[in-house]
């Protein structure tokens, strides 16, 4: 049997690349020799990261992106496609986690989690799947969470969005035998995720856990890098990576 050579430099799009896991993933994949396209709303952050990456000799660019807006996501993908002729990998990473009890009725934040975590992931899939199917090649990596496997108080809506991402990722994988589909589910990871929104007490519980034993974002980036590095015939379907003390 002939074994195909490992692909070298890939065109990789990362959503939510302005901080945390997305930023670490962009840095990790750029250092591995891929061309990374970073997307997020805080473009001044993206510009600073790109400056550092290009100064280090890596290949990277950025664009403003709001994953809740299908036109913004399509524009992000189409610009990359026009410039590079292909998209090899999409890392659907953007997410928000305003934690609070149901009794608070923070309906706007429930909708925000659905819009960013769930609709945003679907928008990313819609933007890249046609060209990947046409080329019969590509990889879609969705970032879920250990919250896609268990529900905790104050996190029910967040968990619901992550359970949904897990479900749709499995269906996407089943329907696509040329495009690789990967679910990455981190446990507590040090990032800015618990910095905004939600109930102050719930936020500080999450923040304290992240500070006490959270993974460095680079640990999640390495798991993503492992999935990307496999040959086209090997689909790493699912990785759960959590801090050992999380239990
Ligand atoms: N940290 C953890 O413990 C943990 C555990 C499991 C799963 N996760 C998941 O990992 C992913 C990354 O989170 P993180 O921990 O790295 O948190 P983070 O540091 O807060 O990063 C979240 C990223 O999402 C982006 N984002 C938010 N809303 C967006 C929008 N509408 N359009 C585009 N980008 C948007 C943010 O960029 P802008 O604000 O600049 O747009 C930011 O770059 C999320 O899906 C999260 O649910 C995290």
Mean pLDDT for the chain overall: 96
40 by DSSP, 3-state: which?
A: strand
Q: Is 186 in the pocket of ligand 1 (CB under 6 A)?
A: yes
CA dist., res. 16 & res. 8, Å (int): 24
The finding on whether 188 has its CB within 6 A of some atom of ligand 1 is: yes
Q: How far apart are the first and last CA of the chain?
A: 43
Which of 94, 100, 157, 144 minimizes the C-alpha distance to 124?
Answer: 94
| Nearest atom (ligand 1) to Cα of 215 | 3
Instruction: Determine the pLDDT at residue 125.
Output: 99
Q: Closest Cα to residue 186, out of 213, 167, 205? A: 213
- Asked whether 97 lines ligand 1 (CB < 6 A), one says yes
Point out the residues that are catalytic: 158
pLDDT tens digits, 140-157: 999 999 999 999 999 999
Element (H, E) at 12: strand 11-15
Q: Which of 8, 15, 12 is nearest to 64 (CA)?
A: 15
**Closest residue by CA, ligand 1 atom 20:** 193
Burial of 247 (0-12, 13-18, 19+ CB in 10 A): exposed
What is residue 8's predicted lDDT score, i.e. its pLDDT? Answer: 79
Q: Measured in whole angstroms, how far is the alpha carbon of residue 8 from the centre of its chain?
A: 21
Q: Which atom of ligand 1 approaches the CA of 42 most closely?
A: 40
Ligand 1 atom, smallest distance to 206 CA: 3
CA of 130 to the centre of ligand 1 (A): 25
pLDDT at 169: 98
Pair type for strands 11-15 and 89-92: parallel
Nearest protein CA to atom 25 of ligand 1, as residue: 16
Tell me the domains of the chain and their CATH numbers.
11-241 (3.40.50.720)
Joined tokens for residue 71 = 């036109």
For a substitution probing ligand 1, which of 27, 91, 95, 123 has the most ligand atoms within 8 Å of its CB?
95
Global confidence as pTM: 0.97
Give every residue of the chain whose pLDDT is below 70, as ranges: 1-7
Residue 230: strand, helix, or coil: coil
Interatomic CA distance for residues 91 and 111, integer angstroms = 22
What's the CA gap between 32 and 34, in Å, rounded?
Answer: 6
Asked if 206 and 97 touch (Cβ cutoff 8 Å), the reply is yes
Ligand 1 pocket check for 193: Cβ under 6 Å: yes
């Amino acid at each position: 049997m002939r074994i195909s050579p490992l692909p070298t430099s890939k065109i990789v799009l990362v959503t939510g690349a302005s901080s945390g896991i997305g930023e670490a993933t962009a840095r990790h994949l750029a250092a591995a020799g891929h061309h990374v396209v970073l997307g997020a709303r805080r473009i001044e952050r993206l510009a600073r990261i790109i400056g550092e990456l290009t100064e280090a000799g890596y290949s990277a660019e950025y664009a403003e992106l709001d994953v809740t807006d299908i036109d913004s996501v399509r524009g992000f993908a189409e610009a990359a496609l026009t410039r590079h002729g292909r998209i090899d990998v999409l890392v659907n990473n953007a997410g928000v986690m305003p934690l609070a009890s149901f009794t608070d009725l923070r309906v706007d934040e429930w909708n925000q989690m659905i819009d960013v975590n769930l609709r945003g992931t679907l928008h990313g899939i819609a933007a890249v799947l046609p060209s990947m199917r046409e080329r019969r090649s590509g990889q879609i990596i969705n970032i879920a969470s250990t919250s896609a496997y268990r529900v905790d108080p104050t996190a029910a809506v967040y968990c619901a969005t992550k359970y949904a991402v897990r479900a749709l990722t499995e269906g996407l994988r089943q329907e696509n035998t040329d495009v690789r589909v990967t679910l990455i589910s981190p446990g507590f990871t040090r990032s800015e995720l618990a910095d905004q929104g939600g109930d102050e007490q719930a936020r500080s519980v999450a923040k304290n856990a992240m500070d006490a034993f959270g993974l460095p974002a680079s640990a999640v980036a390495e798991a993503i890098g492992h999935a990307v590095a496999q040959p086209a015939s090997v689909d790493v379907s699912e990785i759960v990576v959590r801090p050992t003390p999380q239990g």
